[in-house]
Amino acid sequence: MIHPSAIIHEGAQLAEGVEIGPYAIIGRHVTIGTGTSVGAQAVVGDWTEIGENNQIFPQSSVGAPPQDLKYRGEECWTRIGDGNIVREFATIHRGTVTGHSETIVGNNNLFMAYSHVAHDCIVGNGVVMANVATLAGHVTVEDNVIIGGLVAVHQFSRIGAFSMIGGGTMVGMDILPYMIATPSKRDAKLRGLNLIGLKRRGFTEETIANLKKAYKTLFMADLKLPDAIDRIRSEISDCPEVDYLLAFINSTQRGFCRG
């Protein structure tokens, strides 16, 4: 159902079953998949692709121009997958030509009220961003991450898969996969493995034990990082999760938060 007060650009493509609420605005070059609803007074900006069965709640904004003074109205995109929930006053901005030219959101994510995804971010699947959680530009959030309320993530940072960031944390460097980070005086501080989250996601006891051993070697064995990595590789084999943790460390550009 499309409310008669909604304003929809003539070039927008809405699939069968899309719902558009009162006074919502749908821009040009927009496609919206079946089963998606756009609430009252929500805005879907130009150059936006939204998949199926998403819920865009009232007064949220998806696909608006980036908050980047270099942006001059170039064609840049916001691409959103399926099954996402964007709550009231949440904002997701399109990309820039100095970045990826697109902001990408995967599937089955929850963006709570007043959360913000800036230009050129990449958000994976199963991510939860609590109220007023904020991603600066060019941030990558991998799958199944939980970001607490009032968290602020610095531009170009990466948040590793299955990690959790406690409320009020200022994140200036990468957060390793499978970890919990909480506030400290200057930056996020690792508190250990996200054990409850890993168990809820079905990680085996053997995998969790290997990740514990890797964590202790990295942060509690009084070894330099290259030596710690070498020890982990020599002592732990056939564990894809540990392999991924080490690959994440080796590929970091900003450095990563520690305990």
CA distances from 61 to 85, 108, 146 (A): 12, 18, 21
Active site residue 243: no
Out of 119, 126, 143, 174, pick the active-site residue.
119
116: phi then psi, degrees, rounded to nearest 5: -140, 130
What phi and psi, each to the nearest 5 degrees, are found at residue 152? -125, 125
Tokens encoding 99: 């970045």
- If DSSP codes are grouped into helix, strand and coil, which group holds residue 7? strand
Is residue 137 among the annotated active site residues? yes
- The Cα–Cα gap between 166 and 147 comes to 7
Quick check: 123 and 147 in contact, CB under 8 A? Answer: no
Which member of 27, 81, 83, 137 is catalytic? 137
Q: How far apart are CA 106 and CA 128, in angstroms?
A: 12
Residue whose entry in the numeric block shows the structure tokens 């800036």: 118
Catalytic one among 68, 120, 143, 174? 120
The answer to whether 45 touches 64, Cβ cutoff 8 Å, is yes
116 is catalytic: no
Instruction: Quote the CA–CA distance of 38 and 86 in Å, as a whole number.
Output: 10
Residues serving a catalytic function are 119-120, 137
